[in-house]
Amino acid sequence: MIKKFILSFLLIINIAFNLKANDSTKIVLKSIQPEPYQGELFRLVGQVVANAHYRKLVIDDKLSAELLNNYIKHLDPLHLYFLESDIINFDKYKYILDDDLLQGKVDAGFDIYNKYQSRLEERINFSFDLLKSEMSFDTNDSFLYKREDINFAKSISELDKLWMNKVKYEVLVLKADGKDFKTCAEIVRKRYYNLLKQLSKTKTSDVFSFYANALTEISDPHTNYLAPRQADEFNTSMSLSLEGIGATLQTDNEYTKITSLVKGGPAEKSKLVSVNDKISAVGQGKEGEMVSVLDWRIDDVVGLIRGKKGTIVRLQIIPADITENKSKIIEITRDKIVLEDQASKSSIKEIKKNGKKFKIGTIDIPTFYLDFARASAGEKDYKSTTRDVRRIINEFKKENVDAIVVDLRNNGGGSLQEAIELTGLFIKSGPVVQVKDAYGIVKSEKDKDEEVLWNGPLEVIVNRFSASASEIFAAAMQDYGRALIIGEQTYGKGTVQNMLDLDQYMQYGDKKMGQVKLTIAKFYRISGGSTQHKGVIPDIEFPSIFANKEYGEDASIYSLPYDSINPESYSKQTKITEQLNKLKQLHNARMLGNAEYVYLLEDIETVKKSDVKQFVSVNEAMYKKELKENETKNKARKEAREKTKANQGKDASNADLILDEAKELIIDQMLLK
């Protein structure tokens, strides 16, 4: 799925490079062939997803066709490299890849990759030739950037025309910043040279990983094959002791995308990056060369960004916010990411309303964390979400807070046990979540502690990036009627994964086989419905700028479906639903006159229009006109927000909008009693 491709070519680094046109001749791409053991490894991966995955894939002709299509999609999602004749030629594999899998063969995967590499090399060399001569930007040509559903080019000449406008657009983006053509051409040429250099570093293990993941993804998007180096990176990131910027990254077409930020980490503290921003280049220190990382392997990008505490890394960012129509270079000082940085945070705000004063306590929970090692060792002061929240609530009680808001925005989950125990702080006892395994066996996870630490007014804020354990807690609070849920529909990740080390099943000399992250179960609410795909729909819902089809489980055609099982026996503990209609009326009335809410609706409309738009102009006058319009709009919004800050003494943003409204709603709830 192509996400906001209108910005796809705001990726060229805004620094001039000295590069000779014949530098590309120093790089020779070689055909990549599989190693002897990789066929058997591929068969092992297939056996794992066929026998141990929740879905239990059937290895047949249907899977063979899906594997072929998914692999081609992964290599060339925008139909920029392969020709229609290549795709027709690949049809010979359509119904034999399942047989290859059972027999332990990966030759077809490597043959397809080598054709992809050859076509990409052709496109890069074509771009080098284009950039030798001055280009015209006064024609009405355009570039079709939404290409995932477009037919592959029928001929080299058709592909040449497509790439001519593609490269012209990349140069135009730079020319609009005032650079001359020669400078722009050198920058674009450098980007393609770096891509060619990166391609030359591709190893047989990389190609195997591409092919194996095209297979595992068919079972569901959270099942992945991790090559040995990737497995090491994953395990390091889970240890919470790495040195870097505190961001989780993943490949998104040719980009590296930020999927989450560690609360308290350097990236989050900087306020310069956001979830779903795309990284197009990385530089070391204040003066180091910005290196394009487009089409790079994720582990190589991680290697560039990670570094020693106290050092500076520069990132070229394409903002996820479509209203920011320019890429930007930011600086982040690396630091050590430790569990302490992710601890739950609290604040108290006093609000006057209807002649009364209310103290509202907010608990920001970045993740459901548990220092398992220290807990297992019997240490008394180990960190966990529930222990920290318990301490905060006791502090709130001393301060006589009237209500509590739990903020789970951008909380991607974590420990299931912590989600269960946290729920127990707000209910007497009872079921919290149901888990169904691959064999259909359902287990109910329960809170058995009768103590209720907080029985006062409670609210939970969620957004599109609240996932997994966050959804379990929010769903339980909603099902019990214990808390009002507000915000955006959540991510919809209602599945359980386990890591499987393949070394225990296969040995080949001193080679490591890697790991499979495997989906083994699904979560269900105590009311019976799954949190998978559907997520949690808030009682009072805010519209989201992030479309379901592009962010969340809806983004993958292979995600497990929503379904339901029998509900558990439980009792509602409050009567929030009886107040809900009145609360919605009060909420809607406030939003009508709220400037930030209007901005949010405007941004959503902008995104919708970009989804409909198919072409970007390579006419310089038209491009600059559109750029100017967006800059004028953004400047006016910035000035309005600064005025709000001057008048009200606080920053204004969509994030503040939801938190402020949450506090208004919980006060409304108390006043309605």
Catalytic choice (206, 479, 539, 611): 479
Catalytic choice (3, 146, 493, 663): 493
Q: What residue type is 373 in one-letter code?
A: A
Q: How far apart are CA 430 and CA 424, in angstroms?
A: 8
Q: How far apart are CA 329 and CA 30, in angstroms?
A: 34
Q: What is the DSSP letter of 504?
A: G
- Where would I find the beta strands (DSSP E) of 426-544? 430-437, 442-447, 458-462, 484-487, 495-501, 515-524, 540-541
Q: How far apart are CA 237 and CA 215, in angstroms?
A: 25
Question: Known catalytic residue: 479?
Answer: yes
For 254, the 3-state DSSP assignment is coil
Contact status, residue 237 vs residue 248, Cβ threshold 8 Å: yes
| Backbone φ/ψ region at 528: left (φ over 0), alpha (ψ -120 to 50), beta | left
Q: How far apart are CA 74 and CA 116, in angstroms?
A: 11
Task: Kindly report each contact of residues 595-601 with a partner whose C-beta sits within 8 Å and lies 24 or more positions away, as own/partner.
Answer: 595/640, 595/644, 595/652, 596/652, 596/653, 596/654, 596/656, 596/657, 597/657, 599/637, 599/654, 600/542, 600/543, 600/545, 600/654, 600/657, 601/543
Contact status, residue 506 vs residue 513, Cβ threshold 8 Å: yes
Contact status, residue 618 vs residue 176, Cβ threshold 8 Å: no
Q: What is the DSSP letter of 618?
A: -
Which of 543, 530, 425, 398 lies closest to 483 in space, CA to CA?
425
Question: Known catalytic residue: 544?
Answer: no
Which of 270, 269, 258 lies closest to 319 in space, CA to CA?
258
Residue whose entry in the numeric block shows the structure tokens 């910035």: 638
Question: Known catalytic residue: 493?
Answer: yes
Catalytic choice (468, 470, 530, 544): 468
Which of 78, 282, 81 lies closest to 194 in space, CA to CA?
282
What are the φ/ψ torsions at residue 180 (nearest 5 degrees)? Answer: -80, 165
For 20, the 3-state DSSP assignment is coil
Q: How far apart are CA 210 and CA 224, in angstroms?
A: 10
Catalytic positions, written as ranges = 468, 479, 493
